[in-house]
Amino acid sequence: MNVPIGDSSALRAAVYFKSYGGFIDAIQPDGSVDDDVNDGERFGARVSMRFEPSENLTITPRLVYQDVDLNGFNRSDAYNILANPFTTTRPRVDLNGREQYTQLDESFTDEFLLLDLNIEYAMNDMVMTSVTSYTDRDVLVVRDATQLTASITGGSIGLGEDIYTLDAPLDDATTVEAFTQELRLSSDTDSPFQWLVGGFYSQIDREYSQSLDVAGFEALSGISTAGPLAATDILFFSNIPYDFEQFAVFGEASYLFTDRFTLTAGLRYFDFEENRVLNFDGIFADQTIGQRGRTSSDGISPRIIASYSLSDDTILNAQVSKGFRLGGINDPLNEPLCSPEDLVTFGGRDSFDDEELINYEIGAKTTILNGRGTFNIAAFHMDIDNLQATLTAGTCSSRVIFNVPESSSAGVEMELAISPTANLDFSVTASYTNAELDSTVTSTAADGTISIVGGIEKGNRLPTTPKFQMAINSTYFWGLDNGWDGYFSTTLQHVGSRFTQIGDQSDGFGTVDLSVFPLGDPDQGIFSFDPELPSYNIGNLRLGVKNDNWDVSLFVNNVSDSEARLALDQERGSLARVGFITNSPRTFGVTARINF
């Protein structure tokens, strides 16, 4: 709702609630099936007030709150060391589409609060803007890490089935408090010269912790597990508090040289500093207590934009800009879990450098069909130095960030939106991107053998980026009686193939050697999967009627019931589990909206 309060203020509020039905079934150790384990709920509210005590002053406080509570994850398992069809001494399990294997309930909770205050004051052909915000967020992820733990306790250590099948919940908690303040001063005239200057400050306190509680492990195994930080049966414990501070000043100016040509230039000076304390304990960890680390960076990020009106219907633009991502400190490897080869490959990577890129872009925005349509197109090329590549450190069950000296991304994006008749709206967006590594990172073993690290090889693709993707939308309207209109909408989305991580392109990745951790005495040597996520198509339909107050429609989403692989989810270099994050299946529904 949006309602006035007196002559100079108004209230806007929204409340929402959604219940997720779930669509993933979880096979249990006794052969039973828990249906729809990834169900859950989401609740939220947004409230803002706008005060205008004078014609020059506007004050807008806002509150945003959201609480998400999910009972599981949209993961479809392809292989699990504790549940697969290759075992001979344990029950065989076939995992099919939209199925996973779990021994215990998983969950995801996320509570988010945002408070912000926006103040605008107009004075002497200038506008001063202040934006203050406070964020408080708590995230808790509870994962079934039994298969990961089994690959260590049963695989690496060689303990019996009564121990390696113990429930192993991994609690993964993050708390964040953040304060930001931005102050801007900008011109407010019709002059051909426009300008903006400002400053920005942020302070972020984040604490990240993990705890792997395997109840009964010490009593059954006779292995002492308690440590300075880890209690009995806590096989892995970590707690990492971060303190992140940022300060920046920026400015931008544009000048209209002619009625058709505008040039804009801007600079941003930044100063970042991150401090953190590493605390690791447990028999799976390389014990680290109170180890402090610090990283900092400062520099200037410029950009320049040129815009030229070729005609009343066509605008050409070009820009060059520079960006960066702060470097940092890698977590220590879980050395007790690492193979000697992985210790050589991933060891000694204590920190990683800033990532920097320069982006070159040209484009055009055009009005077509006598104003009944628009066509926009842009081409870009990015040179990336010290790309931060996150790699899974194989058997170490750790993640390490490497710097790739040179990478690049180039492509074309286009948008077309037309209304060829009064009854039809049609739009299409498409992009082609060629994003790849331009450098190779190698590791040298003790015997002098040189190997490529984690798929970081010249010519390999950057992660998560499809070469081609496209979306087509169309809506047809027709008149009905008594002020009602009918409409029929279609949407088609195509996403090309991708890789989840650079390491998924390593030689041999996609083949699981079942003899490394032969739990259940497998009757074959390998299990294979394709780490390249295949392209997919999703189509949606909607049929409805509406008038000035009501809008009622029937919809079908994912009409063909496509099961897309959105990301690879694997444990211990795929030796413990291989799964894929997947999308919602075909969904039917009714939507009703009323305006009053």
Cβ-contact 322, 354 below 8 angstroms: no
454 and 525 share one domain: no
Amino acid at 59: I
Rounded to 10 degrees, the C-alpha dihedral 156/157/162/163 comes to: -100
**Pick from 447, 462, 477: which residue ends a domain?**
462
Q: What is the mean pLDDT of residues 49-75?
A: 96
289 and 151 share one domain: yes
Domain residues for the domain of 544 are 468-596
320 and 243 share one domain: no
- Would 443 be classed as within a structural domain? yes
150 and 285 share one domain: yes
DSSP 27-80: E-TTS-EE--TT-EEEEEEEEEEEEEEETTEEEEEEEEEEEEEESS--EEEEEE
- Name the percent of the chain lying above pLDDT 70: 100
Alpha-carbon separation of residue 322 from 147, 304, 308 (angstroms): 44, 10, 22
Q: What is the pLDDT of residues 155-199, one digit of tens each?
A: 999 999 999 999 999 999 999 999 999 999 999 999 999 999 999
Residue identified by tokens 């004051």 is 121
pLDDT given at position 330: 85
Q: What is the pLDDT of residues 510-529, one digit of tens each?
A: 999 999 999 999 999 999 99
Tell me phi and psi for residue 453, to 5 degrees. -85, 120
419 and 335 share one domain: yes
Please say if the pLDDT value at position 219 is more than 80: yes
The number of distinct structural domains making up the chain is: 3
Q: What is the pLDDT of residues 128-137, one digit of tens each?
A: 999 999 999 9
**Pick from 299, 330, 354: which residue ends a domain?**
299
407 and 483 share one domain: no
Q: What is the mean pLDDT of residues 281-306?
A: 92
Residue closest to 340 by CA, chosen among 380, 394, 420: 394
List Cβ neighbours of 68 (8 Å cut-off, separation of 6 or more): 40, 41, 42, 108, 109, 110, 111
Q: What tokens does 377 get?
A: 């197109």
Q: What whole-number distance in Å separates Cα of residue 487 and Cα of residue 546?
A: 8
Please say if the pLDDT value at position 446 is more than 80: no
258 and 371 share one domain: no
294 and 364 share one domain: no
Q: What is the mean pLDDT of residues 267-290?
A: 93
Amino acid at 451: S
Q: What is the mean pLDDT of residues 428-442?
A: 96
Q: What is the mean pLDDT of residues 545-562?
A: 97
- Would 228 be classed as within a structural domain? yes
- Would 75 be classed as within a structural domain? no
- Positive or negative: CA dihedral 189, 190, 191, 193: positive
> What b/e string do you get for 114-150 counting C-beta neighbours within 10 Å, with b at 16 or more?
bebebbbeeeeeebbbebebebebebebbbbbbbbbb
242 and 165 share one domain: yes
**Pick from 442, 462, 482: which residue ends a domain?**
462
- Would 162 be classed as within a structural domain? yes
- Would 452 be classed as within a structural domain? yes
- Would 27 be classed as within a structural domain? no
First-residue to last-residue Cα distance in the chain = 9
488 and 559 share one domain: yes
Residue closest to 131 by CA, chosen among 114, 111, 147, 149: 114
